[in-house]
Amino acid sequence: MVRVRFPSSPPHRPASCRSAGYLPRSQPSLYDGAFTLESGAPREVPMEMRRFSSRFRRAGGRAQHPATGSGAEAAAEDHVLAAVEFASQTTRVSQGRAVVAIVASPGTRIDAWRDRFVGNDLRVLWTPRAPRGRVPSADEWVAPSEGALSKSLRAMPSVDCLLDVRTVGLARKAVLWSRAYFFVRNGGVYALTTARSWRRTAPPTDVRMLAERAGRRSGVGAFTERDVTELESATVDYEADRGLIRLRRRRTYAVSVVEREADDLLPRRFEKTRHEVLLTLPGEVFASPTVVDHHDPPRAPRRVETVLDVPPLSVREYEGDIRFHGHMAFSSEATVLPSSFRYPWAQRSLHLRLPHQPYAAPANTAFRLRNAPAAARLPDADYVDLTHPFHGHFGHIIAQTVSRLWAMDAIGQVFPTAQYLLPEPTGARDRQPYEMVFAAGVPKDRVTWVARPVRLTRLIAPALGLQYAPTLFVHPAVVSTWRMLRDRLVTVDSSAPGKIFVSRRGGDGHRGCRNVGAVEETFAERGFAIIYPEDHSLREQARLFGNARVIAGFGGSGMYNSLFADHLDAMIILNSERYTGRTEHLIALRIADRLDYFWNPTVVRDGADYQSPWRFDFARNGDRLRALLASV
């Protein structure tokens, strides 16, 4: 038998350290997983552990079991029984009723165990199907795939004991462990039986070896050294014998729930928090009439579709212990709320932004905060979520805050004294974009500025009506918001330039164009006014963009002011090949007759090339650009 007791923090391992099965992964992302809300000291392992260990050894020597008749499988089932007894004893003392989840294969006979779970909340997950002829009861679910299994586990409140007794190899069980481990409650137990797997091989002696098994099964790039260190630091106790691995968890993690599954999962996860959908607007399939021309690019650009599958939008109300963690992340009862994500309808890359360099686990199952400060409680009120990531960033105010304003009229009618949560600006320049929020009807005297984590009791969360990656959509309700802002901020001016080029300073900075001078000269020669939006007040920006009939510029947030235009004859975007932000693309699909792209190679050719400087390629694109400018 192998038993490891982990210290309060895992030993330091250099970033260059690599083991077979887990190699460098690019940028971690999040999917249907969890992130740490707060550090939690593990519960002290009680004296029953010694008796539990002795059950390990006794069970290993038994030859037969009435449920299976197989000596090895009988030993494994006896090990599971011992784990269940131990888990129920230790969890019932502190929590009253333990949630126990069993992941089983069709051949596993669990009926002989049910008397062991009296007093516990037992859930059985059959995968990939239930036993032949068996009709699953109310506490039995069928998960036909790994994704369905993960979703079923996330549909439960935090699990006290998770037992994987499937008749599959250790590597497959290790993969599920690496993904589902964070769904277990702080201080809970994760156990997996492995009787068949150890007839020829020794058991993994620690968390690192178990993670290596999962990494080899998942494939190259699935695990990094940071992933393994995180799994180690989340484990307070590891015990292995021929037939069973048992791990005790520490730290509190929260399961992520996104918009496409919120109506299904939130009611099942919440035990104390009240959740209600106040308003839902239907979605649509939008086929834009805008003509898009990429002018023979060397490679096919990504995320430039013109037919958009627009999902429905909802306003959700929560009442309970709500926590705001910073940027735009909220949680309750160890559940990340759907409005926390920049890409709430994505399948995999949700982009939950948090302070303190959060951790994203393999297969996007976990997200962790580091050193989260203690959160003060806000005064009792109805708080409306208008937050966004990257405080003070104009583009993200457009993409994440303005795209929530579609619900302001309805919210104001139901909650006439509501407070509005906005990230606190750091200076006068950061405060200027909020004029759009106030123009939409948000009262200045009812704004609660947040700069650090807080707790609140009631939250009203309108869904994001715009998503610019990885799949694109903009809801017609958001287009109506743009029209309302245009009516309130744009001054009709026949003397304003009809053609403008939106330039950008800092050729060596993020996505800077290194030959910007030559580009500006090309446009100026064809009658375009060169503007830098940051040099003008918001109302002046609205005047310039709102009166233009042709808008050209470098891709990025400078072009987002195009939403002030009622109609465009053309939009022209100069981009690097690696830039995939598409907010200006979404705006053009709603207001422009034509959209022309010119794609150019980046200076940097590695994982950082999304933000790489680049040069406009006159040799490849110059003649086409000049011909286009002569025609608009």
pLDDT digits (tens, 9 = 90+) for 134-186: 888 888 999 998 778 888 888 888 888 899 988 888 889 998 998 899 889 88
Percent above pLDDT 90 for the chain? 48
Contact 26, 607 (CB under 8 A): yes
Helix (H) or strand (E) holding 177, with range, is helix 170-180
Among 324, 259, 176, which Cα is nearest to 463's?
A: 259
Helix (H) or strand (E) holding 293, with range, is strand 291-293
CA angle, 469 then 485 then 534, to 5°: 70
Contact 77, 68 (CB under 8 A): yes
* 3-class DSSP assignment, residue 454: strand
- Give the list of residues 6+ apart from residue 295 with CB closer than 8 angstroms, or none: 596, 597, 598, 599, 621, 624, 628
Q: Measure the CA–CA gap between 513 and 616, rounded to whole angstroms.
A: 7
Whether the per-residue pLDDT at 446 is higher than 50: the answer is yes
Sole residue written with tokens 């002290």: 44
- Give the list of residues 6+ apart from residue 435 with CB closer than 8 angstroms, or none: 489, 538, 539
**pLDDT mean over 93-115:** 76
CA angle, 186 then 190 then 193, to 5°: 175
Whether the per-residue pLDDT at 61 is higher than 60: the answer is no
Q: Measure the CA–CA gap between 122 and 98, rounded to whole angstroms.
A: 8
| Per-residue tokens: 320 | 């309970």
| Per-residue tokens: 581 | 């932000």
Q: Measure the CA–CA gap between 545 and 500, rounded to whole angstroms.
A: 8
pLDDT band at 59 (very low <50, low <70, confident <90, very high): very low
Among 617, 589, 585, 590, which Cα is nearest to 601's?
A: 617
Whether the per-residue pLDDT at 600 is higher than 90: the answer is yes
The per-residue pLDDT for 44 is 41
pLDDT band at 45 (very low <50, low <70, confident <90, very high): very low
The per-residue pLDDT for 136 is 84
- Give the list of residues 6+ apart from residue 588 with CB closer than 8 angstroms, or none: 290, 562, 568, 571, 573, 595
| Average pLDDT value for the chain | 82
Query: 240 has which bridge partners?
Result: 2, 245
Whether the per-residue pLDDT at 331 is higher than 80: the answer is yes
Cα-based torsion angle of the residue sequence 582, 585, 586, 587 in order, rounded to the nearest 10 degrees: 130
Q: Measure the CA–CA gap between 330 and 369, rounded to whole angstroms.
A: 12
pLDDT band at 358 (very low <50, low <70, confident <90, very high): low
Sole residue written with tokens 């009658």: 527
Contact 63, 397 (CB under 8 A): no
Helix extents (H) in 378-475 = 394-396, 408-414, 428-431, 435-439
Through-space distance between the first and last CA atoms of the chain, rounded to whole angstroms: 78
Among 545, 506, 502, 508, which Cα is nearest to 520's?
A: 502
pLDDT band at 350 (very low <50, low <70, confident <90, very high): low
Whether the per-residue pLDDT at 18 is higher than 50: the answer is no
Whether the per-residue pLDDT at 457 is higher than 90: the answer is yes
Contact 106, 88 (CB under 8 A): no
Among 207, 227, 113, 214, which Cα is nearest to 165's?
A: 113
pLDDT digits (tens, 9 = 90+) for 524-578: 999 999 999 999 999 999 999 999 999 999 999 999 999 999 999 999 999 998 8
Q: Measure the CA–CA gap between 11 and 474, rounded to whole angstroms.
A: 47
pLDDT band at 39 (very low <50, low <70, confident <90, very high): very low
Contact 207, 235 (CB under 8 A): yes
User: Which residue segments constitute the domains of the chain, with CATH numbers given?
Assistant: 2-253 (3.40.50), 257-467 (no CATH), 490-631 (3.40.50)
Is the torsion defined by CA of 19, 20, 22, 26 positive or negative? positive
Helix extents (H) in 195-250 = 207-218, 225-233
Contact 310, 287 (CB under 8 A): no
pLDDT digits (tens, 9 = 90+) for 473-525: 999 999 999 999 999 999 999 999 999 999 998 766 677 899 999 999 999 99
Helix extents (H) in 403-451 = 408-414, 428-431, 435-439
The per-residue pLDDT for 500 is 99
pLDDT digits (tens, 9 = 90+) for 224-283: 888 888 899 999 999 987 678 999 998 878 888 889 889 999 999 998 999 999 999 999
Whether the per-residue pLDDT at 28 is higher than 50: the answer is no
The per-residue pLDDT for 256 is 83
pLDDT band at 356 (very low <50, low <70, confident <90, very high): low
Q: Do β-strands 382-385 and 376-377 pair in parallel, antiparallel, or remain unpaired? A: unpaired
pLDDT digits (tens, 9 = 90+) for 603-619: 776 655 667 789 999 99
Whether the per-residue pLDDT at 30 is higher than 60: the answer is no
pLDDT digits (tens, 9 = 90+) for 573-596: 999 988 888 999 999 999 999 999
pLDDT band at 415 (very low <50, low <70, confident <90, very high): very high
Q: Measure the CA–CA gap between 575 and 491, rounded to whole angstroms.
A: 30
Contact 183, 56 (CB under 8 A): no
**pLDDT mean over 287-306:** 92
| Per-residue tokens: 378 | 């806000």
Which one of 114-118, 124-128, 468-472, 479-483 scores highest in mean pLDDT?
A: 479-483
DSSP 538-606: HHHHHHHHHT-SEEEEESSGGGGGGGG-S-BSEEEEEEETT----HHHHHHHHHBSEEEEEEE-BS--S
Query: 462 has which bridge partners?
Result: 315
Sole residue written with tokens 């299904």: 264
